[in-house]
Structure 1
């Protein structure tokens, strides 16, 4: 009887693992080896909480193609495509696979858009998908989004107010390929 209970428990655990792995795979599908460009639209979050991802799309063609696919996903959810076009037109942050904004070496990039527009002091908070956690080397903040609070993958260290604008900030230092959470803000 005890052996049957143990086998039943193992089967249940295996089913849970397979289900969890499937969910993770679906989330990660937004960035694959063949997709070099992604676009993500974030909603405004409550203080200290993750910004909801409203849409995410990737492309092997270009950043503009990834953004067009993201806008199409947003339009499916919205009654007004005009509102989608206006709000999606301002990027708040760019991610690059390599230091110096991929200028020295070709690499992947992602453009992040904010649903509420430009950054304020609260900004937007995002946990990158696992590929970006292990490959993010440069961040550029756009508009009023000039600073970021960055936490490492182990969630043991956070550096606040990392300046992420202008060309002299070509990398993210100790967070190179080690990003757990980013809170971009003014």
Structure 2
């Protein structure tokens, strides 16, 4: 084996390892669910980020029925921060709700740094925010980097963006929501 063949083999091995890590959700610092959830209506409970890192995913519940107890009960006493829409203006409906426990409260200045799970990565077409999440930044990079867009609404709970626009549609891989 010559040097060129050895280098090509090493790249293939690294590509296989990297793919395995992405598929299992084991990348360092990720708040991504380890596997794709069942159902198109999901509730994801996150926690406060530590030291400016990504918010940990505490639980994820999904259902094909938006009226199911699994979907509606998951958000009962908790604080709703955000809803992601698969389709512009959530038509036809397919959404994920991002919640936190009542103890962790609404958005504040440090906010929540999020990575969509394997189903939602590069699939967000619109979103609504709640609970004082007045500032939203979305990025096509996994570490709040790359091409992005920003929305701010200082009058209400936060921006309601039915459609993120042609430039960012289906390109969101990380988000930062905050007061």
**TM-score, length of structure 2 as denominator length:** 0.71
Q: How does 1:1-186 map to 2 (within 5 A)?
A: 16=17, 20=21, 23-24=24-25, 27-30=34-37, 32=38, 35-62=39-66, 65-68=70-73, 70=74, 86=77, 89-100=78-89, 102=90, 105-115=91-101, 116-153=104-141, 155-163=145-153, 165=158, 169-173=161-165, 174-186=167-179
- Which of the two has greater helix per residue? 1
SS at match of 1:134: coil
Q: How many residues align?
A: 159
SS at match of 1:65: helix
Q: Shift in Å at residue 158 of structure 1? A: 3.2
Q: Is the 8 A contact 1:38 1:67 kept in 2?
A: no
Q: Shift in Å at residue 29 of structure 1? A: 2.3
Q: Shift in Å at residue 137 of structure 1? A: 0.7
Distance in 1 separating the partners of 2:46 and 2:105:
10
Query: Which stretch of structure 1 is more off in the superposition, 130-139 or 155-164?
Result: 155-164
After superposition, the CA RMSD in angstroms is 3.3
What is the match of residue 30 of structure 2?
Answer: none
SS at match of 1:118: coil
**TM-score, length of structure 1 as denominator length:** 0.68
Q: Shift in Å at residue 157 of structure 1? A: 2.1
Mark the structure with the bigger radius of gyration.
1
What is the match of residue 76 of structure 1?
Answer: none
Structure 1, gaps ≥5 residues long: 72-84
Distance in 2 separating the partners of 1:96 and 1:161:
16
